[in-house]
Chains A and B, each alone.
Chain A
Amino acid sequence: MFANWPLLSLLIWLPILGAIPVLLAGDKRPDTARLLALIVAVLTFAVSLCMLPGFDSSSAAMQLQENHSWIETLNVRYHLGVDGISVALVLLTTFTSVLVIILGWGSIDERVSQYMAAMLVLEGLMVGVFCAMDALLFYVFFEGMLIPMFILIGIWGGARRVYATLKFFIYTFFGSIFMLIGLIYLYFKTGSFELATLAQVGLSGKEQAWLFFAFLIAFAVKVPMWPVHTWLPDAHVEAPTGGSVVLAAIMLKIGGYGFIRFSLPIVPDASMEYAWVVIAMSLVAVVYVGYVALVQEDMKKLIAYSSIAHMGFVTLGIFVSLSLARGGNATGAAIGIQGAMVQMISHGFISGAMFSCVGVLYDRLHTRMIRDYGGVVNTMPRFATLFVLFAMANCGLPGTSGFVGEFWVILAAFQSNPLVGALAAFTLIIGAAYTLWLVKRVIFGEVANDKVAGLSDMNARETFVLVTFAIAVLLFGLWPQPLGNLMDAPIAELVKHIVISKGA
């Protein structure tokens, strides 16, 4: 019944235009702004669910397409469409956005309407990124996203917010410039920004290499991969809770998505040739960043580093698939990419939940330092239960969604090279070490001080958010098949595509 609706446009523009009345509600009426924002977010989520009934998950084709001319002279098109991969990420976006709005309900007191409006605009732009089938349209959304996030950190952030927000902005902007140059080159070559066209165009080895590194810089910053990751801990530390959640849960995924949509299909040979670079960077992320996470004293920084380590599995899974696919092991390659995708979705839930947990604590004691806590379980038992659950998911415990992606990626990596698999599997130890040590110091033990003694357990709003995350984490841990099913066809198609060389 929804097949003929412009669902994707609705998903993009509903939150962006919905931000206007929220803004109009003004700072004098914060409750109106909150309520309006929630209504918009829930509506958007409802619309995103409408994608599912008519969606053919057995097909790798782009569905729900909308194709209009946009900038006639440059042949830029407003072309939207989704396959299983996009649907999964769009749902993650709309789902998380609802929770973020609820989360900001109580913890944001200043300029509420502007905060809520920025969040909604951000949501629309992120959906746009996952739906764009035109490279320039993608680029516009990709860059546009920076603005609301820049504002979110810059206004509602912590003490060093100016440094953090500038670092964040310049880092990512620096990265994406290279992608823009690459896209312009491709435009001159093909006369089009259509992703489907770009995926088919023949490119020489040299051209592919240049383009590969242009894309790599853009997406590596976004993921972020070592060594261009240092903006993330700063951004997280200064961002308000909601900003951190969006950043970790959704925005980082755009980097991984970019590799899947741009690098692999457009420059498969260079991806294959330089896969080792990305694999090496990913392994550094898992091992090196794991050790760095271990010694962090700020909870948010610790979780930020943990995010980098977990996103290492995404890039690892994507790039081990190349040698597997070309070695004739299509299943192995599909395992790698599936693992990467599942890891992205799962990391969305887990990191979102972890940052929400820190937010819950921060709202009470206004400190993120681990040493200021201890024995929280004594005063907040319900919170502690959920925190331990998310910590276990962060360790990749089977039965939680955190396990699924890591499991597949490690299995795929082992097939490409047992040593790579072994280094990746090191996360079992180091990931557990930094997470459980955090739990030990914050949650367990005697009540550490008077402030902790005075903590009150979660209120209904916080409980709702964390329990919703918990359900998602457990559901996709115990039964990830629906997720796999959704993405299976496009991934199989992608594996077929990357096997074919684009010529010298």
Chain B
Amino acid sequence: MITPKLILLVTALLPLFGAIVAGLFGKRVGRAGAHTVTIAGVLGSFLLSCYALYQLATGGWGVFNENLYTWFEVGNLSAHVGFLVDRLTAVMMVVVTSVSLLVHVYTIGYMRDDPGYQRFFSYISLFTFSMLMLVMSNNFMQLFFGWEAVGLVSYLLIGFWFKRPSAIFANMKAFLVNRVGDFGFLLGIAAVLFWFGSLDYATVFRSADATLAGKTLEIFAGHPWQAATVIGVLLFIGAMGKSAQVPLHVWLPDSMEGPTPISALIHAATMVTAGIFMVARMSPLYELSETALSFVMIIGATTALFTGLIGIVQNDIKRVVAYSTLSQLGYMTVALGVSAYSAAIFHLMTHAFFKALLFLGAGSVIIAMHHEQDMRHMGGLKKYMPITFITGWIGTLALTGFPGFSGFFSKDAIIEAVHESHRFGSGYAYFCVLTGVFVTALYSFRLIYLTYHGKERFVVEHAPQAHAAHHDAHADKHGHDDHAYAGHGKNEHAHDDHGHHAPGHLEHAPHESPWVVTLPLILLAIPSVIIGWLTIGPMLFGDFFAGAIVVKEGGPLAELAHHWHGPWAMLLHGLMAPPFWLALAGFAVATYVYMFNQSIADRAAKMFAPLYRLLQNKYGIDDLYFAVFARGGLKLGRGLWRGGDVAVIDDGLVNGSAALVGRIAASVRRVQSGFLYHYAFAMILGLIVLLGGLWMAAR
């Protein structure tokens, strides 16, 4: 009997099966075995996800909500493992499995020479399973399971090259920063249980309005908080960790220490969007609190603009894309904050494709450059690698919102929705997202020009045997380069692999990557262009997500739908709206500076040196955290240990009372002197006291 339940179960478990085979039996199945079994698993999962989406979209299936097994029962609370699959879930499933599938294929090429080949496939399949469990969950417990499981795999993959100090620093940082978010998230779940007495989505959402109405929580006396606000803010803190929102964004740029395929899959397309998905899923709760939504919006807007600015001054190709990801996640979060949940999911989807494309393209460049990631040593690559070049342009146009490309629709929808919103903080948010458009175009085209256009800034050494001698000869000459490196701090340069060469020196000319790398690029470029056009109608203006996403009367998207109805109207409007002109301005500036007059960039950096430094230092946030939380935590720990445990408790109380007993014993011991006359004297004294006492009593 093939039931929806069986289909969904298989969808989730296929990647897990692949992960187990590749992970535990990696040696036995070999490299080819490992990638075959994991790719087959994810392919199956992808096809079944498409089938599920098709069934749900056409009405073949109703919303699927069933428990699989009972995880824990206590009192009248029971926690289950189960699936809730509606259209929102199905869209996420297709996004996750499709990007994952392409990344699996890409990995064959990218990790070809890596000794941890099987392990890598095992991890990315395990990730796919975890992410599916997260999006398919029908309750808060399992949501948290998936939430932490993707965090674990992210930890393992950022530290995949575990010999590298920067990698194992970055993965710990990522895990801990995420844990700060999870701290809020878990308390949010506790708050849900507190008010609803249940962890099931269906129960909670059904009664959200009635249960939370009028409920408050007084954490500090005299300051009651609305229940919905407490839940909303706490859960969102979790999203701030996972989706890297300011001020918990610091882990994402460092996560670039991981191999590029996972930067694309985990740290761009899927895992980091879990927070966005979660808030959209919780829309019935968020709609009850204006305060929580304002908070979401302001955080998102801040992230969208200020992390984008950092992207302008980065020289590492992956880091530019990473900051771009932060900024785009900010856009999605802003959309959530103005109740345009569908717009957030829509942008999540288009972003998944074009950002995965940009990352995989960057990876292709990195392979060609023999693991050089510094754009100052690139340039002119377009003639060596045409496919990467063209798909890179496509991805960039999608990202910057070129009219007609997928990113145009999704980003414009968000900006317009913010424009329509009257929520507290929406003015600030509108400023941020508009300015962000200019910034996005600036750093995106800067990347394109520095990488693919202009002069070649690398040296090709044709005689590899003379390599060692060469190395020494050039060491002096390139001294200033090394100096420049040191200036950017230790973690600045996420070199993808062991670079044996002096910066900018290649053993042989760069060339286009193999088909397993370029095919995923092409397959990602297609949706990057067309997916927005195809799906905006139902997803944004229609009622595709009806039932899954709840918006109160008069949400901004309803307003937009009223104006535009479909992509054509939006396209025409887009050509006249400010975002388009801002993007064009960004493009023009980037073109002028990085194509024709690069000295302007250097002069600008000198002229606005303090600003430049501020951006270089990432606003000092990383350093501040390191000083306060890492060093401060250690100092506190040492103080508590030496001061509390050792000094007061052990030396003071424990050994102190032992010493006191010792002293008392010593003085008492003196009484036992061994001299007979002492004893005789004591006896007589005692006798006198006793008799005296008796006599007194008898009187």
A489–B169 alpha-carbon span in the complex (Å): 47
Q: Answer yes or no: A24 CB below 8 A from chain B CBs.
A: no
Q: Answer yes or no: B352 CB below 8 A from chain A CBs.
A: no
Q: Answer yes or no: B172 CB below 8 A from chain A CBs.
A: yes
Residue contact A444 to B168, C-beta cutoff 8 Å:
yes
| Interface size class, chain B | 35 or more
Contacting residue for A227 out of B169, B182, B649, CB 8 A: B649
> Dominant SS at the A interface?
helix
Please choose the segment from A176-184, A250-258, A396-404 that sits at the chain B interface, where 4 or more of its residues have CB less than 8 A away.
A396-404
Q: Answer yes or no: A21 CB below 8 A from chain B CBs.
A: no
Contacting residue for B187 out of A330, A408, A425, CB 8 A: A425
Q: Answer yes or no: B673 CB below 8 A from chain A CBs.
A: no
B74-96 contacts to A, CB under 8 A, are 74-77
Q: Answer yes or no: A292 CB below 8 A from chain B CBs.
A: yes
Annotate A294-325 by CB proximity to B: 1 below 8 A, 0 otherwise.
Answer: 11100000000000000000000000000000
Q: Answer yes or no: A116 CB below 8 A from chain B CBs.
A: no
How far, in Å, is B125 (CB) from chain A's closest CB?
16
A295–B636 alpha-carbon span in the complex (Å): 9
With contacts A445-B168, A446-B163 known, is A338 near B74, CB below 8 A?
A: yes
How far, in Å, is B626 (CB) from chain A's closest CB?
13
A333–B76 alpha-carbon span in the complex (Å): 11
How far, in Å, is B463 (CB) from chain A's closest CB?
31
A462-501 contacts to B, CB under 8 A, are 479-481, 484-485, 488, 491-492
Contacting residue for A433 out of B75, B190, B633, CB 8 A: B633
Which residues from A are CB-within-8-Å of B633?
Answer: 291, 294, 430, 433
Q: Answer yes or no: B141 CB below 8 A from chain A CBs.
A: yes
A418–B190 alpha-carbon span in the complex (Å): 9
Q: Answer yes or no: B70 CB below 8 A from chain A CBs.
A: yes
Which residues from B are CB-within-8-Å of A388?
Answer: 156
Residue contact A437 to B172, C-beta cutoff 8 Å:
yes
Residue contact A410 to B190, C-beta cutoff 8 Å:
yes
Contacting residue for A335 out of B77, B162, B219, B637, CB 8 A: B77
Residue contact B644 to A432, C-beta cutoff 8 Å:
no
A426–B182 alpha-carbon span in the complex (Å): 10
B40-99 contacts to A, CB under 8 A, are 69-77
Which residues from B are CB-within-8-Å of A484?
Answer: 72-74
Which residues from B are CB-within-8-Å of A480?
Answer: 71-72
How far, in Å, is B644 (CB) from chain A's closest CB?
7
Which residues from A are CB-within-8-Å of B393?
Answer: none
With contacts A429-B183, A444-B159 known, is A399 near B149, CB below 8 A?
A: yes
In the complex, residue of chain A having the shortest beta-carbon distance to the beta carbon of B220? A419
A104–B458 alpha-carbon span in the complex (Å): 60
Which residues from A are CB-within-8-Å of B165?
Answer: 445
Residue contact B168 to A414, C-beta cutoff 8 Å:
no
Q: Answer yes or no: B691 CB below 8 A from chain A CBs.
A: no
Residue contact A292 to B179, C-beta cutoff 8 Å:
no
A408–B191 alpha-carbon span in the complex (Å): 13
Output the residue of B147, B149, B641 with the most chain A CB within 10 A: B641
Which residues from A are CB-within-8-Å of B183?
Answer: 425-426, 428-429
Residue contact A422 to B187, C-beta cutoff 8 Å:
yes
How far, in Å, is A333 (CB) from chain B's closest CB?
8
Q: Answer yes or no: B412 CB below 8 A from chain A CBs.
A: no
A380-403 contacts to B, CB under 8 A, are 388, 392, 397-399, 403
With contacts A398-B148, A418-B191, A425-B186 known, is A331 near B197, CB below 8 A?
A: yes
Annotate A30-54 by CB proximity to B: 1 below 8 A, 0 otherwise.
Answer: 0000000000000000000000000
In the complex, residue of chain B having the shortest beta-carbon distance to the beta carbon of A422? B187
Annotate B142-169 by CB proximity to A: 1 below 8 A, 0 otherwise.
Answer: 0011011100100110010011010011
With contacts A230-B649, A415-B193 known, is A291 near B637, CB below 8 A?
A: yes
With contacts A432-B176, A479-B69 known, is A444 near B162, CB below 8 A?
A: yes
Residue contact B144 to A398, C-beta cutoff 8 Å:
yes
Q: Answer yes or no: A421 CB below 8 A from chain B CBs.
A: yes
Which residues from A are CB-within-8-Å of B147?
Answer: 398
Contacting residue for B162 out of A377, A413, A436, CB 8 A: A377
A443–B186 alpha-carbon span in the complex (Å): 29
Which residues from B are CB-within-8-Å of A296?
Answer: 641
Which residues from A are CB-within-8-Å of B74?
Answer: 331, 334-335, 338, 408, 484, 488, 491
Interface size on A, residues (CB 8 A): 63
Residue contact B190 to A429, C-beta cutoff 8 Å:
no
In the complex, residue of chain B having the shortest beta-carbon distance to the beta carbon of A163? B655
Q: Answer yes or no: B449 CB below 8 A from chain A CBs.
A: no
Q: Answer yes or no: B390 CB below 8 A from chain A CBs.
A: no
How far, in Å, is A323 (CB) from chain B's closest CB?
14
Q: Answer yes or no: A288 CB below 8 A from chain B CBs.
A: yes
Residue contact B634 to A294, C-beta cutoff 8 Å:
yes
A333–B72 alpha-carbon span in the complex (Å): 15
Contacting residue for B145 out of A399, A415, A492, CB 8 A: A399
Contacting residue for B644 out of A292, A404, A444, CB 8 A: A292
Contacting residue for B190 out of A331, A403, A414, CB 8 A: A414
Residue contact B163 to A445, C-beta cutoff 8 Å:
yes
Contacting residue for A440 out of B172, B182, B219, B634, CB 8 A: B172
Residue contact A492 to B75, C-beta cutoff 8 Å:
yes
Residue contact A481 to B163, C-beta cutoff 8 Å:
no
Which residues from A are CB-within-8-Å of B650?
Answer: 230
Q: Answer yes or no: B346 CB below 8 A from chain A CBs.
A: no
How far, in Å, is A36 (CB) from chain B's closest CB?
35
Contacting residue for A375 out of B70, B163, B191, B658, CB 8 A: B163
Which residues from A are CB-within-8-Å of B110?
Answer: none
Q: Answer yes or no: A59 CB below 8 A from chain B CBs.
A: no
Residue contact A481 to B71, C-beta cutoff 8 Å:
yes
Q: Answer yes or no: B194 CB below 8 A from chain A CBs.
A: yes
Q: Answer yes or no: A63 CB below 8 A from chain B CBs.
A: no
With contacts A292-B641, A335-B77, A397-B148 known, is A419 near B168, CB below 8 A?
A: no
Residue contact A334 to B168, C-beta cutoff 8 Å:
no
Contacting residue for A292 out of B76, B144, B189, B645, CB 8 A: B645
Q: Answer yes or no: B474 CB below 8 A from chain A CBs.
A: no
Residue contact A295 to B634, C-beta cutoff 8 Å:
yes
Q: Answer yes or no: B563 CB below 8 A from chain A CBs.
A: no
A412–B650 alpha-carbon span in the complex (Å): 33
In the complex, residue of chain B having the shortest beta-carbon distance to the beta carbon of A291? B637
A29–B302 alpha-carbon span in the complex (Å): 73
Residue contact A331 to B70, C-beta cutoff 8 Å:
no
Contacting residue for B176 out of A292, A293, A436, A491, CB 8 A: A436
Residue contact A292 to B640, C-beta cutoff 8 Å:
yes
Which residues from A are CB-within-8-Å of B141?
Answer: 398, 407
Q: Answer yes or no: A167 CB below 8 A from chain B CBs.
A: yes
A327-354 contacts to B, CB under 8 A, are 330-335, 338
A414–B189 alpha-carbon span in the complex (Å): 10
With contacts A291-B636, A421-B190, A429-B180 known, is A436 near B175, CB below 8 A?
A: yes
Residue contact A418 to B189, C-beta cutoff 8 Å:
no
Which residues from B are CB-within-8-Å of A404?
Answer: 72
Q: Answer yes or no: B654 CB below 8 A from chain A CBs.
A: yes
In the complex, residue of chain B having the shortest beta-carbon distance to the beta carbon of A419? B219
In the complex, residue of chain B having the shortest beta-carbon distance to the beta carbon of A441? B168
A425–B149 alpha-carbon span in the complex (Å): 18
A422–B189 alpha-carbon span in the complex (Å): 12
Residue contact B149 to A415, C-beta cutoff 8 Å:
no
- Give 25 CB contacts A-B under 8 Å: A227-B653, A230-B650, A288-B640, A292-B640, A292-B645, A332-B75, A333-B75, A338-B74, A388-B156, A398-B144, A398-B149, A399-B145, A421-B190, A422-B187, A425-B187, A426-B183, A428-B183, A429-B176, A432-B175, A433-B633, A437-B172, A440-B168, A446-B163, A484-B73, A484-B74
Mark A residues whose CB is within 8 Å of B.
Answer: 167, 170-171, 227, 230-231, 288, 291-296, 330-335, 338, 375, 377-378, 388, 392, 397-399, 403-404, 407-408, 410-411, 413-415, 418-419, 421-422, 425-426, 428-430, 432-433, 436-437, 440, 443-446, 479-481, 484-485, 488, 491-492
6 shortest A-B CB distances, which residue pairs? A331-B75, A414-B190, A295-B637, A291-B637, A398-B145, A334-B75
With A418-B219, A430-B633 known, 5 other A-B pairs at CB within 8 A are A295-B641, A331-B77, A397-B152, A408-B74, A481-B69
